[in-house]
Amino acid sequence: MGRKLQGRLIIATHNAGKLWEMQRLLAPHGVDAISAGELGLPEPPETGTTFIANARLKAHAAMTATGLPAFADDSGMCVDALDGAPGVYSADWAGNPRDFGAAMDRVERELLAMGMLGSRASFNSTLIIAWPDGHEAIFEGSVAGALVFPRRGTQGFGYDPIFLPDGESRTFGEMMAEEKNAVPDDDRLPISHRARAFVKLRAACL
């Protein structure tokens, strides 16, 4: 049994899309969540080489700055034909300021050069909660699928318009966020990687 979340929680992100998804997932559980961005906290350099390492960096930075439990996500798209890239560097491929259109163009360009536009891929999410006393909880979720070009849909964010999850006829970019991140009341898996990780977090901490 994991430690239960109580009181205020810092969501350690400056990404508006991720923040909205996390707040929607937490809202039914009465968690008083505020983002690192709203508090004016700086974004720590994401120097880790794994999703766990970067999620840990973000959670611990927010926790140390506020003295409150902090919740962080690190996630990305891993393309089989690109040996798992962009993976943990998914945001880096979008440059600064972020341009995920250019990042998706890069994925398409590299796959086209290899003759593998229909490559398999997965979206992966690692959620970490860090408490001020040093306790930490880690939850992971993933969803497999294929890449489609040209892009389809304008919903979501990041690489959503080119990712077609297994068993679905629409890309993440064609799904409303409420549907993509819905957590079923039965034993069915949620559609998104982040919601799948959250189901594990909910069972342990909420």
Amino acid present at 35:
S
186 exposure class (CB count in 10 Å sphere: 0-12, 13-18, 19+): exposed
| 32-36, 71-75, 107-111, 196-200, range with the lowest pLDDT | 32-36
DSSP for the chain, please give it. Answer: -PPPP-SEEEE----HHHHHHHHHHHGGGT-EEEETTTTTPPPPP---SSHHHHHHHHHHHHHHHHSS-EEEEEEEEEEGGGTT-BGGGTTGGGTTTT-HHHHHHHHHHHHHHHT-TT-EEEEEEEEEEE-TTS-EEEEEEEEEEEE-SS---S-SSTTGGGEEETT-SS-GGGS-HHHHT---SSSPPPSSHHHHHHHHHHHHH-
Q: What is the pLDDT of residues 40-71, one digit of tens each?
A: 999 899 999 999 999 999 999 999 999 999 99
pTM recorded for the entire structure: 0.91
pLDDT computed for residue 87 by the predictor: 98
pLDDT reading at 183 higher than 90: no
pLDDT reading at 18 higher than 90: no
Would you kindly state where each structural domain of the chain is located, as residue ranges? Answer: 8-205
Return the structure tokens found at 172.
């993440």
Q: What is the pLDDT of residues 81-130, one digit of tens each?
A: 999 999 999 999 999 889 999 999 999 999 999 999 989 999 999 999 99
Contacts of 138 (CB under 8 A, 6+ apart): 52, 55, 126, 127, 128
Percent of the chain predicted with pLDDT > 70: 99
pLDDT computed for residue 200 by the predictor: 93
pLDDT reading at 204 higher than 90: yes
Q: What angle do CA 184, 186, 187 make, to 5 degrees?
A: 100
pLDDT computed for residue 95 by the predictor: 95
- Give the active site residues: 74
* Whole-number Å distance between alpha carbons of 12 and 32: 14
Which of the listed CATH numbers 3.40.120.10, 3.90.950.10, 3.40.640.10, 3.30.1490.20 matches domain 8-205?
A: 3.90.950.10
